[in-house]
Amino acid sequence: MWDELLTPMEEATQAMHAWAVAEAENGGIAPISHELLGAARDIADLLATRAEAVLIRKDVELLADELVSRGADGVCVVQAMLAELRAQRT
């Protein structure tokens, strides 16, 4: 039974990406996010995979380009207002 659920290591390695969570601050990307992305880029290069950034904020599409210029292969922009997220919790 468990054998059917487990992914062979070779397939799992191919599906792995190195992820960094980026924080928007004062209209730009927070400096610590650049450091995290740099570490994700190093890990991705070692594993021969992609470095991806996650940016959680409203109206930050332009900041995604900055993350790509800093080494991200892709950026997942999650647009949600905190009030909306809190309302979903209750």
In the chain, where are the structural domains located? Answer: 2-89
Q: What is the mean pLDDT of residues 32-51?
A: 93
pTM over 0.75: no
Residue 4 has a pLDDT of 53
Residue 1 has a pLDDT of 41
Residue 25 has a pLDDT of 84
Model confidence over 6-40: pLDDT tens digits? 455 455 555 688 999 998 888 889 999 999 999 99
Question: Hey, what CATH topology would domain 2-89 get?
Answer: Rossmann fold (3.40.50)
pLDDT at 52 over 60: yes
Own/partner contacts of 68-74, CB < 8 Å, gap of 24 or more, are 70/29, 70/34, 70/37, 70/38, 71/37, 71/38, 71/40, 71/41, 72/20, 72/37, 72/40, 72/41, 73/44, 74/50
